[in-house]
């Protein structure tokens, strides 16, 4: 697997404020990465630095193993930052032609990409007449013109209506399915959970976690249990070595595992003790719960 | 280089306001020929401007470059707004993300400035040549092609002025404010001149000092041509005055403007490099 981007000890200070603090991570080809973090956690600043529009204070980063200059490397990258920026007085096609000139790629992909994002019918309309959703889709088309090695998206669904959000997500999934490496910055966790294989979690400019989504927490998941004999069930579980915290909510018990245990095993164990379950579900924490857990603890 | 110019051309030519201003500018440059049509014929007073010798070679080079330089303000608006619009549309950010380096970005703007100046110079050359061939009293080749340094001065003057506009566009980021700043700077130079003249130096020395200020330096490149007209000279000698001015284009005047151009372009680049977008 080849490395697309390496970031080493990157730091950015705005006066007294440290927006990005000693951040390091790498992006490997073929994965879908999410950068997660609350508003103001340094996501956009980090992307700004690697995209050559924000100056770093210290540290370094290198694209594609560091053989090319940043602006040459960016010609092989597709990126959308915050809101779509195009020349308002030019049509979609003319704007894309300009991007082709800058990226030094032929113009024959324009139709294909505009069709992918569903804007071919409106290709001759001026950019300023577009709705926000259409602008965002044009930005994606523009980012794809060079068939990039990596697609960088910063809050691509920000400010869109549900239909627009859905369209953008479908497009992202389509692109991910083609094997393009994607780096998606967002504070919308379900968005990241749906498409990403790896995450980098930031808080106040510091990295809390970087790695696969699955191994984010050293957690073995939890059981949701219901039974007629709830008090006996609770007592049994709290004396069991495999369980840690046990929470009771309405008539449901949530028991967190300290070590791996299959649901069959638990079912057998309880049955032997004379408890019959009405409801048994084994779950892992959702990304949202894991994220809140991570950002709370530190 | 062609790629950078091409990028800039797409940006400018698709903007209606820029297109109209550019066209208006070149139409105005051509319209200097209309001066030839100024003709008064009121009974005994017959006056035809074209016959007063303003279109005589080589004087025409001096006269036309001086007059047409006034129209440069049209292009100044285009240049300031082409720079400031990149900021207000945030397209400068997108350009950089798409893989244009900061150096290329400034270079593309500077090349546009050079092209504007070069095309203007060619325009003025052609228009003056035609006017001269029609109206000039002297048509010897050696006379026609003398004093061509005024064209060089014209070119340098435009490049310098447009570079200043470019820098202001980057510095202020808003076209209206940048143009306001340009006017403010003009007033500032006038104010400095007044203060130096009043408190420090005599007339000649003040001129010497002021020659180092950018707008003043650009103005100095081509001195006013009116007092050189024979009609004006005649009137002056009748009232016992002899006007003796140095009309020539001096190498050090050109050098000063070129140095300012370099400073403006470098500052634009440094500013772009230092700023977070």
B17 to chain A: closest CA residue: A89
User: Which chain B residues are within 8 Å of A88, Cβ to Cβ?
Assistant: 89
B125 backbone φψ class: left, alpha, beta (φ>0; ψ -120 to 50): alpha
Measured in degrees and rounded to the nearest 5, phi and psi for residue B106 equal -65, -40
User: Which chain A residues are within 8 Å of B15, Cβ to Cβ?
Assistant: 87, 89
Task: Work out the minimum CA distance from A185 to partner chain B, whole angstroms.
Answer: 16
pLDDT of B254-269, one tens digit each?
Answer: 999 999 999 999 999 9
Task: Work out the minimum CA distance from A204 to partner chain B, whole angstroms.
Answer: 19
- The average pLDDT across A101-106 equals 90
pLDDT at residue A297 in the model: 58
- The average pLDDT across B167-192 equals 92
pLDDT at residue A290 in the model: 74
pLDDT of B30-81, one tens digit each?
Answer: 887 777 667 777 777 766 776 777 788 888 888 888 888 888 888 999 999 9
For chains A and B, what is the number of CB pairs under 8 angstroms? 79
Q: Is residue B89 classed exposed, middle or buried when 0-12, 13-18 and 19+ CB atoms within 10 A define those classes?
A: middle
Q: Which of A187, A135, A157, A151 is nearest to A76 (CA)?
A: A151
Number of alpha carbons in the 13 Å side-chain half-sphere of residue B134:
13
Among A63, A81, A102, pick the best mutation site for testing chain B contact (most B Cβ within 10 A). A102
Across the interface, do B276 and A85 touch by the CB < 8 Å criterion? Answer: no
Highest mean pLDDT among A2-11, B19-28, B104-113, B137-146: B104-113
Task: Work out the minimum CA distance from A264 to partner chain B, whole angstroms.
Answer: 53
- The average pLDDT across A27-36 equals 88
Across the interface, do B10 and A99 touch by the CB < 8 Å criterion? Answer: no
User: Which chain A residues are within 8 Å of B104, Cβ to Cβ?
Assistant: 71
Among A101, A139, A152, pick the best mutation site for testing chain B contact (most B Cβ within 10 A). A101
Residue B181, pLDDT > 90, answer yes
Quick one: what percent of chain A has pLDDT higher than 90? 20
- The average pLDDT across B233-238 equals 72
User: Which chain A residues are within 8 Å of B90, Cβ to Cβ?
Assistant: 83, 85
pLDDT band at B154 (very low <50, low <70, confident <90, very high): very high
pLDDT band at B143 (very low <50, low <70, confident <90, very high): confident
Across the interface, do A101 and B101 touch by the CB < 8 Å criterion? Answer: no
A152 backbone φψ class: left, alpha, beta (φ>0; ψ -120 to 50): beta
Structural domains in chain A? 3-212 (3.40.50.300), 222-297 (3.30.70)
Residue A96, pLDDT > 80, answer yes
pLDDT at residue B265 in the model: 96
pLDDT band at B171 (very low <50, low <70, confident <90, very high): very high
A256 touches A243 (CB < 8 A): yes
Calpha distance A17→B276 (Å, rounded): 15
Q: Which of A30, A54, A31, A32 is nearest to A42 (CA)?
A: A54
User: Which chain B residues are within 8 Å of A77, Cβ to Cβ?
Assistant: 99
pLDDT band at A1 (very low <50, low <70, confident <90, very high): low
User: Which chain B residues are within 8 Å of A153, Cβ to Cβ?
Assistant: none
Residue A217, pLDDT > 70, answer no
Instruction: Please tell me which residue, B39 or A159, carries the higher pLDDT value.
Output: A159
Across the interface, do B15 and A54 touch by the CB < 8 Å criterion? Answer: no
Structure tokens at A109: 């992909």
Of A69, A77, A89, Cβ closest to residue B14: A89
């Amino acid at each position: 697997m080849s490395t697309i981007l390496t970031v080493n000890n990157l730091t950015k200070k705005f006066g007294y404020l440290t927006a990005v603090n000693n951040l390091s991570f790498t992006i490997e080809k073929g994965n879908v990465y999410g950068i997660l973090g609350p508003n103001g956690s340094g996501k956009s600043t980090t992307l700004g630095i690697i995209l050559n529009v924000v100056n770093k204070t210290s540290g370094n980063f290198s694209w594609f193993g560091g053989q090319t200059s940043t602006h040459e490397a960016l010609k092989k990258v597709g990126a959308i930052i915050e809101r779509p920026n195009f020349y308002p007085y030019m049509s979609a096609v003319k704007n894309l032609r300009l991007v082709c000139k800058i990226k030094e790629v032929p113009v024959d992909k324009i139709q294909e990409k505009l069709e992918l994002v569903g804007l071919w019918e409106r290709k001759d309309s001026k950019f300023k007449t577009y709705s926000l959703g259409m602008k965002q889709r044009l930005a994606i088309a523009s980012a794809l013109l060079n068939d990039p090695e990596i697609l960088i998206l910063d809050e691509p669904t920000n400010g869109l209506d549900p239909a627009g959000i859905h369209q953008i997500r479908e497009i992202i999934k389509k692109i991910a399915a083609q094997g393009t490496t994607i780096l998606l910055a967002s504070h919308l966790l379900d968005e990241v959970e749906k498409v990403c294989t790896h995450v980098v979690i930031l808080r106040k400019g510091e990295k809390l976690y970087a790695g696969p989504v699955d191994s984010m927490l050293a957690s073995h998941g939890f059981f949701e249990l219901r039974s007629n004999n709830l008090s006996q069930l609770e007592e049994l579980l709290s004396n069991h070595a495999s369980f840690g915290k046990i929470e009771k909510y309405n008539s449901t018990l949530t028991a967190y595992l300290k070590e791996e245990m299959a649901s069959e095993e638990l079912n057998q164990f309880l049955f032997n003790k004379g408890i019959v379950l009405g409801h048994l579900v084994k779950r892992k924490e959702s990304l949202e719960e894991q994220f809140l857990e991570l950002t709370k603890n530190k | 280089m062609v790629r950078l110019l091409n990028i800039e051309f797409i940006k400018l030519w698709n903007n209606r306001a820029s297109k109209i201003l550019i066209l208006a500018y070149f139409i105005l440059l051509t319209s200097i020929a209309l001066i030839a049509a100024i003709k008064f014929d009121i009974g005994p007073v017959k006056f035809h401007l074209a016959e007063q010798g303003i279109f005589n070679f080589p004087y025409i080079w001096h006269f036309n470059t001086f007059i047409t330089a006034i129209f440069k303000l049209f292009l100044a608006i285009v240049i300031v707004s082409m720079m400031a619009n990149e900021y207000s549309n945030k397209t400068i950010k997108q350009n950089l993300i798409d893989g244009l380096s900061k150096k290329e970005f400034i270079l593309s703007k500077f090349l546009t400035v050079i092209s504007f100046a070069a095309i203007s110079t060619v325009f003025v050359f052609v228009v003056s040549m035609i006017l001269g061939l029609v109206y000039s009293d002297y048509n010897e080749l050696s006379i026609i092609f003398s004093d061509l340094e005024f064209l060089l001065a014209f070119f340098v003057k435009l490049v310098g002025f447009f570079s200043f506009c470019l820098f202001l566009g980057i510095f202020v980021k808003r076209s209206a404010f940048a143009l306001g700043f340009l006017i403010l700077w003009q007033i500032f130079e006038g104010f400095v001149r007044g203060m130096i003249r009043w408190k420090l130096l005599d007339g000649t020395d003040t001129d010497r000092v002021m020659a180092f200020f950018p707008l003043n330096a650009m103005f100095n490149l081509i001195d006013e041509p009116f007092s050189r007209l024979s009609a004006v000279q005649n009137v002056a000698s009748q009232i016992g005055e002899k006007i003796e001015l140095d009309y020539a284009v001096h190498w050090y005047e050109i050098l000063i403007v070129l140095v300012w151009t370099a400073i403006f372009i470098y500052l634009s680049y440094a500013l772009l490099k230092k700023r977070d977008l």
